Amino acid sequence: MPDVISFARGAPSLDIVDVDGLKAAATRAFERDPAGTTAYGTAVGYGPLREWIADQHGVDTSQVIVTNGSMQADAFLFETLVKPGDSVVVEKPTYDRTLLNLRGRGADVRMVNLETDGIDVVELERLLRDEDVRPTLAHVIPNFQNPAGYTLSGPKREALLRLAGEFGFVIFEDDPYIDIRFKGQSLPTMLSQDTTGSVVYASSFSKTVCPGIRVGYLVGPAERVSEIQRLATNTYISPNMVAQSLVYEFIVNGDIDRSIATVKQALAARVKRLTGALSRDLPEARFQAPEGGYFMWVELPEGTSIDRVFEEANARGVAFVKGTDFLLEGGENTLRLAYSGVTEDQIEEGVSRLAEAVRAARATTTA
């Protein structure tokens, strides 16, 4: 079997990770603040980084907690907020780990259709008004959504804030891809527009520094952050101070800006190559080129079995994630392609193999 070309993992390829910058940042961290870098610290995270995050979002430091990756922030929020049986709104499709976490907590997960400009707010309002559903929170990935790559429009952000204020639910603005925009205009976060304390915001340095760093954060009302801090203290005393100190040095030295520029340039070129290859080799596929982030959602014609395509793709050495992984039901003809971890040359070959797998799956289905 040929070497595997993987469109499965949402991580940057090594050639666009600033390894030398990370080495230098680590040296500076140990030289400039050896005590803070090597000590336990506190559950809220490395002080200078926490202050920098607070300044970026225009909030008090009491509203910020820095965690071991944004998934840890997600888990802490769900544990403090979601009880078994609570209704929780998520996008359809949504990140598979979010689904697993919420279902593991016994939440009543309500999936609301995702459109190319974000969650269907008309459908959500109908759920709230006509079906009298009262969610504890609505989980939304507003920029370059995982798995679809879509971005929530400005009017829909405003509509979500209005509905949250009226119906009293928390908007969980899960935003790890915000800085990886390589096309179009940036939109203000819902956190920055929130006047009622409805928004809890999370992001990550995994996409802008490197995934192995495992540093994320959460911003929200001070009382909620304080509650999460108590949980974090009992969970691990403090998060990884070495990683957080390194990230801080990477930021203040300007390395992160150069890193983001490199990543955006590379991913823009990969999206162009990917959409061109799909249009040529799989013209029947439906997709929308994302304006940033790591992922693109692909719909194959109705009747295509993604399970069969997956098997045929594995046999040809190309990997992707089935769309059904991101849904409670449906999606049997869909898949997610992550273009961040493959080179441009691999994209051409990978799509060629994928097209062969689709044709083989159809042949076995109709035989």
Count the Cβ atoms, other than its own, within 10 Å of residue 365.
12
- The pLDDT confidence band at residue 364, using thresholds 50, 70 and 90, is confident
Measure the CA–CA gap between 50 and 64, rounded to whole angstroms: 6
Q: How far apart are the first and last CA of the chain?
A: 25
Say whether the peptide bond before residue 147 is cis (omega within 30 degrees of 0): yes
User: pLDDT tens, 100-114?
Assistant: 999 999 999 999 999
Residue 367 clears pLDDT 60, i.e. is over it: no
Q: What is the pLDDT of residue 2?
A: 74
- Phi and psi at 16, nearest 5°, equal -110, 15
Secondary structure class of 125 (helix, strand, coil): helix
Q: Which amino acid is at 51?
A: E
Secondary structure class of 149 (helix, strand, coil): coil
What's the distance, CA 236 to chain centroid?
24
- Contact of 255 with 26, CB cutoff 8 Å: no
Measure the CA–CA gap between 202 and 191, rounded to whole angstroms: 10
- The pLDDT confidence band at residue 366, using thresholds 50, 70 and 90, is low
Measure the CA–CA gap between 175 and 225, rounded to whole angstroms: 17
Burial class (CB in 10 A: 0-12, 13-18, 19+), 329: exposed
User: pLDDT tens, 296-306?
Assistant: 999 999 999 99
Measure the CA–CA gap between 157 and 145, rounded to whole angstroms: 14
pLDDT > 70 in the chain, percent: 99
Least Cα distance to 270 among 329, 345, 201 occurs for 345
Q: Which amino acid is at 164?
A: A
Secondary structure class of 269 (helix, strand, coil): helix
The length of the chain is 367
Residue 365 clears pLDDT 80, i.e. is over it: no
138-148 per-residue burial string, b: 16 or more CB within 10 A, e: under 16: bbbbbbbbbbb
The model's pTM: 0.96
DSSP, res 175: -
User: pLDDT tens, 200-231?
Assistant: 999 999 999 999 999 999 999 999 999 999 99
H/E segment holding residue 42: none
Measure the CA–CA gap between 258 and 193, rounded to whole angstroms: 29
Angle, in degrees to the nearest 10, between helices 241-252 and 47-57? 50
Measure the CA–CA gap between 298 and 336, rounded to whole angstroms: 6
- The pLDDT confidence band at residue 1, using thresholds 50, 70 and 90, is low
Measure the CA–CA gap between 257 and 145, rounded to whole angstroms: 22
User: pLDDT tens, 254-278?
Assistant: 999 999 999 999 999 999 999 999 9
